[in-house]
């Protein structure tokens, strides 16, 4: 128990430090992005980035299924199982990436890009070119991002933060160079995104396997049974991921379609400020996922109860930080962006509810994800996603983009209540 706690604390400390650096780089990057791109281009970029990032969810849960099964093998120090799950999981990710790439290349030619992005201020050809390259970059990165799940399984979550720091550093350098050029281009901005994503992942894949040559993936370790084990859990994660797209990752799409891309920037800037709370909470929660797996496999319920209580106590400082952000949002935006951005009425308050209940929900979801008991989460997320779909359009017609944040906050509450009850039951009955 002491070793597990020590590993978790070490990962949290390093993750927080690295994410602080990453956030600092992101905060430097955003003003450069706002000034480099026009309002419409920024709306297109955020919408495009959101859609492309859905690919990271559409792995049929293979990444998270691999993470849990690999973590179990690591916990038991079963070298044979580690090599089998790693080889099989990587092979499955490559196959899935290939399928996605083929579907994407076939489907993109059937779409009218100006209708998709709800604008005619950018040419159809430019939008097509940007979408094509962004899609290819994201799909390739999707396969390479298996390195994140490997580091999580080995309870080395801090390395995923370092990957993000390298990505942000490379992109910041390229975008800064672009701002010095006489002409600007959304396409060049897309290229900076893709190059940064690929280089940062490739570096850490090489580092990991150079240090762990004994588990280097090999064809003869690809097993059908291991694939079934990963998929059985992965399919459930996949459904949860789809609902999370609606609950968490589709705001900019809905706002673009309901209100127009010009409404995205204010919402996105406010969200990025409030997302500090989610990021900090996520940094603390991320190392716990596979620590929960290890503790549950070893039936260490004393440790599990202790950590859950600490996570609940953590909600108090999160609440206080959220209140401060709500009342100081105008000052923070002016200080950061140095450009007048009109913040919609009620948006800070609704965003505060959004991030607080996201953190509350995350306490229970990380626990059930770590121990693989995700059936209740699957159904509660489905219901909540349907609720968000209905409420968001109604509320946006009433209070603008603020309604999007409020709808998601309600969704987090509805999906979290059943998980809270489930976690209490598991810990009380030690099952």
pLDDT score for 429: 84
3-state secondary structure 295-362: HHHCCCHHHHHHHHHHHHHCHHHHHHHHHHHHHHHHHHHHHHHCCCCCCCCCHHHHHHHHHHHHHHHH
pLDDT in tens, 253-268: 788 877 877 788 888 8
Instruction: Name the average pLDDT for the chain.
Output: 84
pLDDT score for 314: 93
* pLDDT grade for 317, boundaries at 50, 70 and 90: very high
pLDDT in tens, 178-231: 888 888 788 888 888 889 989 999 999 999 889 888 888 888 888 888 878 777
Mean per-residue pLDDT, 94-99: 86
Mean per-residue pLDDT, 132-145: 86
pLDDT score for 52: 66
Spatial distance between the Cα atoms of 219 and 236, rounded to a whole number of angstroms: 27
pLDDT score for 360: 95
Out of 84-93, 162-171, 330-339, pick the least confident: 330-339
pLDDT score for 23: 74
Task: Report whether pLDDT(130) > 60.
Answer: yes
Task: Report whether pLDDT(409) > 90.
Answer: yes
pLDDT score for 226: 82
Angle at 148 between CA 357 and CA 281, to 5 degrees: 25
Task: Report whether pLDDT(53) > 70.
Answer: no
Spatial distance between the Cα atoms of 64 and 368, rounded to a whole number of angstroms: 13
Q: Which tokens in the block code for residue 378? A: 């699957």
Between 365 and 231, where is the model more confident? 365
- In the chain, pLDDT over 90 holds for what percent of residues? 20
3-state secondary structure 176-236: HHHHCCCCCCHHHHHHHHHHHHHHHHHHHHHHHHHHCHHHCCCHHHCCHHHHHHHHHHHHH
pLDDT score for 413: 93
- In the chain, pLDDT over 70 holds for what percent of residues? 94
pTM listed for this prediction: 0.68
* pLDDT grade for 395, boundaries at 50, 70 and 90: very high
Mean per-residue pLDDT, 149-153: 83
* pLDDT grade for 336, boundaries at 50, 70 and 90: confident
Between 23 and 159, where is the model more confident? 159
pLDDT score for 318: 94
Spatial distance between the Cα atoms of 121 and 124, rounded to a whole number of angstroms: 9
Mean per-residue pLDDT, 363-372: 90
Mean per-residue pLDDT, 286-301: 83
Q: DSSP letter for 123, please.
A: -
């Amino acid at each position: 128990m002491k070793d597990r706690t020590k590993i978790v604390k070490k990962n949290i400390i390093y993750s927080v430090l690295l994410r602080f650096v990453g956030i600092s780089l992101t905060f430097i990057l955003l003003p450069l992005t706002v000034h480099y791109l026009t309002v419409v281009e920024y709306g297109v970029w955020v919408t495009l980035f959101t859609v492309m990032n859905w690919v990271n969810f559409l792995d049929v849960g293979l990444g998270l299924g691999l993470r849990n099964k690999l973590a179990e093998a690591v916990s038991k120090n079963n070298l044979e199982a580690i090599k089998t799950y790693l080889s099989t999981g990587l092979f499955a990710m490559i196959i899935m990436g290939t399928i996605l790439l083929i579907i994407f290349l076939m489907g993109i030619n059937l779409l009218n890009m100006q209708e998709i992005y709800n604008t005619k201020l950018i040419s159809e050809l430019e939008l097509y070119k940007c979408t094509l390259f962004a899609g290819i970059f994201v799909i390739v990165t999707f396969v390479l991002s298996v390195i994140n799940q490997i580091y999580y399984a080995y309870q080395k979550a801090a390395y995923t933060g370092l990957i993000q720091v390298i990505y942000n550093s490379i992109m910041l350098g390229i975008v800064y160079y672009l701002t010095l050029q006489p002409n600007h281009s959304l396409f060049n901005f897309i290229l900076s995104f893709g190059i940064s994503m690929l280089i940062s992942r490739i570096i850490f894949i090489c580092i990991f396997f150079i240090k762990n040559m004994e588990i280097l993936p090999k064809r003869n370790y690809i097993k059908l049974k291991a694939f079934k084990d990963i998929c059985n859990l992965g399919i459930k994660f996949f459904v949860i991921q789809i609902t999370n797209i609606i609950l968490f990752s589709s705001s900019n799409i809905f706002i673009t379609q309901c209100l127009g891309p010009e409404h995205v920037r204010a919402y996105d800037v406010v969200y990025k400020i409030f997302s500090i709370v989610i990021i900090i909470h996520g940094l603390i929660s991320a190392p716990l996922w596979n620590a929960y797996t290890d503790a549950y496999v070893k039936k260490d319920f004393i440790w599990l109860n202790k950590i859950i209580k600490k996570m609940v106590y953590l909600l108090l400082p999160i609440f206080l930080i959220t209140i401060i952000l709500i009342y100081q949002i105008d000052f923070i935006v002016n200080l950061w962006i140095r450009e007048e951005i009109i913040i919609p009425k009620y948006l800070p308050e609704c965003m505060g509810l959004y991030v607080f209940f996201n953190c509350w929900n995350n306490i229970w979801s990380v626990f059930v994800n770590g121990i693989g008991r995700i059936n209740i989460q699957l159904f509660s997320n489905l219901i909540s996603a349907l609720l968000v779909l209905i409420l968001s359009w109604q509320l946006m017609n009433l209070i603008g983009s603020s309604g999007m944040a409020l709808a998601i906050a309600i969704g987090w509450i509805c999906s979290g209540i059943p998980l809270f009850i489930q976690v209490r039951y598991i810990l009380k009955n030690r099952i």
